[in-house]
Structure 1
Amino acid sequence: MAYKITDDCTNCGACEAECPVEAISEKDDHRWIDPDQCTSCGTCAEVCPVEAILAD
């Protein structure tokens, strides 16, 4: 199950820096997780300072 970034995202980039499979990128001033690349490891959710990443 891929993770999803909610509208609570502040676009800080902490998640993108920690993603081991580089599934996170910036799109329209917002971070986005490619569900085809996401391995559901949860690392992004663990480092998000505003808890804006949830399991989809």
Structure 2
Amino acid sequence: MVYVRLNTEWTDGDGVNHAAGETVDVDAATLAELQAAGVVTEVPKSGGDASTEWVGPTSTKP
């Protein structure tokens, strides 16, 4: 599971609506879908800047 911050509103597979700015836990497949759609920003593990610290499935910077 990966903890991410939503850039836009999103409705999960259970039909639950999540507001932009909310943080949610998602699996790797859902993360990939949300990234492709531009819906998420990863939340850094160390409290750093989300724009410079990548915490995706590969743990490498894009």
TM range (shorter): 0.3 to 0.5
- TM-score for the superposition, normalised by structure 2: 0.35
Structure with the greater relative contact order (CA < 8 A, sep ≥ 6): 1 or 2? 1
Of structures 1 and 2, the larger Rg is shown by 2
